[in-house]
A and B are shown apart, each in its own frame.
Chain A
Amino acid sequence: MMRALDGGIRLIGHMVGNGVWRLGSASRFMTQVAARSAMAFRRPRLLLDEVFFSGVLSLIIIIISGLFVGLVLGLQGYETLKRYGSAEALGTLVALSLVRELGPVVSALLFASRAGSAMTAKLGLMKSNEQLSAMEMMAVDPFARVISPMFWGGFLSMPLLAAIFSAMGVFGGYLIGVVILGVDSGAFWSQMQANVDLRYDIVNGVIKSVVFGAAVTAIALFEGYDSPPTAEGVSHAVTRTVVTSALAVLALDFVLTSFMFTGL
């Protein structure tokens, strides 16, 4: 009994100690990323390459997922609104659901799975193949040349991807509601225009996607940089990126929503 208790306490101590250690390493890592960011903006080509890597290459999954989420929202929303005789409010329902919540959150989860995992794998493999060390020995700082542009590329891509996701979702809702189920087109768009507020709904949604983009990219890069230089190490780092990013996005969403939409 005492032995099991002792083991449990040790395990908790180890986990807390390890967590604090990693938090310290991550803070130091992000400080270096911030301090070496100038090159990313002095050489726009580096930044554009990373926007392509994390943003453009994620477009297909974002567009298709956004469309399907919009189609489902259209179907579910129509069924529910019809019960109360307000099927014309479908445009408002679809748009608010997407720009406030589903657009930033689902696109961030997809971004973590597609681009975040790719960033972790790329950085982890560059480390295990000594490419980062080679860069250092060529007097090229890997933080300035590789890691900071990757961070800013992800940071810039995420809000754009969320916007595209929401736009595709609205299009999907329109296809189901107006084209298939016969909701009036004018009512669909005019209700949406009247009830979606630029600052309250859209800007808050953009702020969410910026925060999620920063969190997911930072987690992905830190996990890649911190991964043990082995096949298992990189594989575990990719898994941790997806799991930690998903939990971070959901937790941050709760906190941000609390402040933005409930007046806490």
Chain B
Amino acid sequence: MQNVVEVDNVRFGYGARTILDGLLMSFPRGKVVAIMGGSGSGKTTVLRLLGGQIRPNAGDVRVMGQVVNRLSYAELYTLRRRMGMLFQFGALFTDLTVFDNVAFPLREHSGLPEAMIRDLVLMKLNAVGLRGAHRLKPSELSGGMARRVALARAIALDPALIMYDEPFTGLDPISVGITANLIRKLNDALGATSILVTHDIHGSMPILDYAYILAGGRIIAEGTPQEILASEEPYVQQFVKGQPDGPVPFHYPAPTYAEDLGLRPS
């Protein structure tokens, strides 16, 4: 199966601090793949590498056959027209209505007449169940609704690759279900490839084809949802079961408790 995205032995860091090290990933066409891990594991950094917002220190990121980290400014912007991205809290333009937010990429890139843009926007909003909210401002939307509007905006140009940064954060269980269902349905309807960066096991597992688990900037487990859930890797166990202590310690590194409290050992 053809890979839409390939991450080839990528290393990335800020100065001496390594964020990602030796990353090897592939994302086949038509699949919904998750990148999971705890906070600070480097998940969002992977998305920023795929979108060309940052460049790796070593290795290559290939998206639709093009090496993102070697593209010129113009080539990168051309490639981005075939990508959609849902940001963690939607990143809707607060001075525009729901309609204008979804119309934004169409008006910037499509050159279509306004009447056709109107129809397309209403179709996209209908797909996420918010056609009736097209006159509202982002400040009038709930968190879940804002995320769905952002999703409609992300798919406005029918992208071949859709990236989701923590799509379930801060949502109630009903909204998590709705959003997860939409991600799967839209991916299949558009024949796209979806990459989810998430730490929400329960929200994402039912819709996934494959998942990578990151810890300390490395892949520590990968496989289908069933394989991940059955993994005996201690970190994966802690992550999947939400255990408070384990390979990821409860306490931030610190001197001994007695030392901090000024107690002398007897």
Interface residues of A, Cβ cutoff 8 Å to B = 125, 129-131, 133-134, 136-141, 145
- Assess whether A136 is in contact with B53, with CB atoms less than 8 Å apart: yes
Whether B266 sits at the interface, judged by CB under 8 Å, is: no
Interface assignment of B137: CB less than 8 Å from any CB of chain A:
no
Min CB–CB distance A149 → chain B (angstroms): 13
User: When the two chains form their complex, are residues A129 and B80 in contact, meaning their CB atoms are under 8 A apart?
Assistant: no
Knowing A129-B91, A130-B88, the reply to whether A139 touches B81 (Cβ < 8 A) is: yes
Of A131, A134, A141, which contacts B77 at CB under 8 A?
A141
Bound-state CA distance A140–B109 (Å) is 9
Pick the contact of B105 from A130, A133, A138, A141 — CB < 8 Å? A138
Instruction: Give the number of chain B interface residues (Cβ < 8 Å).
Output: 21
Q: Is the CB of A134 within 8 A of B81?
A: no
**With A139-B109, A140-B108 as given contacts, are A131 and B93 in contact (CB-CB < 8 Å)?**
yes
State the Cβ distance, B120 to closest chain A Cβ, in Å: 15
CA–CA, A98 and B78, complex, Å: 51
> Which B residues from 150 to 177 make CB contacts under 8 A with A?
153
A141 proximity list for chain B (CB < 8 A): 77
Residue of B nearest to A122 (CB): B95
- B165's nearest neighbour on chain A, judged by CB, is A130
CB neighbours of A125 from chain B (8 A):
94
Q: Which residues on the A side are within 8 Å of B51 (C-beta)?
A: 136-137
Which A residue's beta carbon lies closest to that of B138? A129
Of B80, B88, B89, B93, which is within 8 A of A137 by CB?
A: B80
Contact call B80/A130, Cβ cutoff below 8 A: no
List residues of chain B with CB within 8 A of the CB of A136: 51, 53, 80
Q: Which of A131, A138, A145 contacts B80 (CB 8 A)?
A: A138
- 5 nearest A-B pairs in the assembled complex, by CB-CB distance: A134-B91, A139-B80, A130-B91, A137-B85, A139-B77
Beyond known contacts A133-B91, A134-B87, A136-B51: 5 more, CB 8 A cutoff: A136-B80, A137-B83, A137-B85, A138-B80, A139-B108
B48-59 interface code vs A (CB 8 A; 1 in, 0 out): 000101000000
* B109, closest chain A residue (CB): A139
Q: Which of A131, A137, A139, A140 has the most CB of B within 10 A?
A: A137
Q: For B109, what are the chain A residues with a Cβ–Cβ distance below 8 Å?
A: 139-140
Instruction: List A contacts of B81 (CB < 8 A).
Output: 139
A140 & B105 in contact (Cβ 8 Å cutoff): yes
Which of A130, A133, A134, A138 is within 8 Å of B108, CB to CB? A138
In the complex, residue of chain B having the shortest beta-carbon distance to the beta carbon of A132 = B91
- 13 contacts across the A-B interface (CB closer than 8 A): A129-B91, A131-B91, A131-B92, A131-B93, A136-B53, A136-B80, A137-B80, A138-B80, A139-B109, A140-B105, A140-B108, A140-B109, A145-B108
